[in-house]
Amino acid sequence: MSPAVQNLATVALNLEEKSRAELASVLLRSLDQPLLLDEDTERLWLEEANRRDQELTSGSVEGRPWKDVLAAAQDRLG
């Protein structure tokens, strides 16, 4: 990471959460095209998505509501 980007990141990370979210949204919208993944990475993500779908469909794993997952993550972060 260049020093200029590091400085921007330091400033941005000191913003309030809402301001960071707004900045992230602006930056993401500024990208002209979606990020392109290499073929291996895209294949691996597709395989993982299929594996998870099969687990849910077969009943070998049980899904959890997003609000529960988010609450657990927030608890872990303190």
Q: pLDDT tens digit string along 50-73?
A: 999 999 999 999 999 999 999 999
Specify the pTM: 0.46
pLDDT score at 39: 83
Start-to-end CA distance of the chain, whole Å, equals 29
**In which band, very low, low, confident or very high, does the pLDDT at 33 lie, cut at 50, 70 and 90?**
low
Token couple for 38: 């290499």
In angstroms, the CA 46 to CA 28 distance is 23
pLDDT score at 29: 84
- Residue the block writes with tokens 């921007």: 8
Reduced to 3 states, what is the DSSP secondary structure of residue 59?
Answer: coil
Domain ranges of the chain: 1-35, 37-78
